[in-house]
Amino acid sequence: MVEMKSLSFDEQLAALRARGFGEGDPAFTAALESARPAEPAERSLLAWSRGVLPIADAAAQIEREGKPVVLGHLEPEELASFEPIEAVELPDAPAYLALDVDLGEAFRNVRPEDALKEILAAGRSPLTVDEGIALMLQQPSVIARNWGFSMAGSRRGDQRVPAMWISERRPKLGWCWDRNPHTWLGTASCAGRV
């Protein structure tokens, strides 16, 4: 099992800057700064809209232990076809915080469609693929061998649920069927977004 660290807002910004985000782009930095909370938020995740940074551009920057991301049965341009599901309300803002993020250990070996029902019944919200990418850019250690997470908050009108896991020692962004359980995949969620 892996753990998500509770990074401060400034630590999250620093992690993104270390990957080159915002270099020479004051508009990107200003967009992220607009999400700065008045009070520290534990287990928060700094995320942004696709208008600030296209999803394919963000995904291309994922790397873990020096190994770049590989897309599984996906082309970069297909990533944009994964949209938030109806139950997910994103803030109307260039950037925001997802609060109290949970990687979904309790939903390992549970079908994503069943995990989604439980997440919503608990008053939580499933992470979107954009949020999963943002998390991987800030904390690539949140996946490990035999440990990944699905992002049931995004769909493309079919049964495919995007997911992140390790394959051949590389981070992989792909999808799994919503009715197939996997012992190595949880379903990530958050308590809300601000």
Residue 19 lies in a domain: yes
Instruction: Give the predicted TM-score (pTM) of the model.
Output: 0.97
Give the number of domains in the chain. 1
Residue 20 lies in a domain: yes
Residue 50 confidence (pLDDT) above 80 = yes
What range does the domain containing 144 cover? 9-193
Residue 2 lies in a domain: no
Q: What is the pLDDT of residue 24?
A: 82
Residue 3 lies in a domain: no
Q: Which residue has the tokens 């992002």?
A: 151
Residue 127 lies in a domain: yes
Residue 126 lies in a domain: yes
Q: What is the pLDDT of residue 1?
A: 65
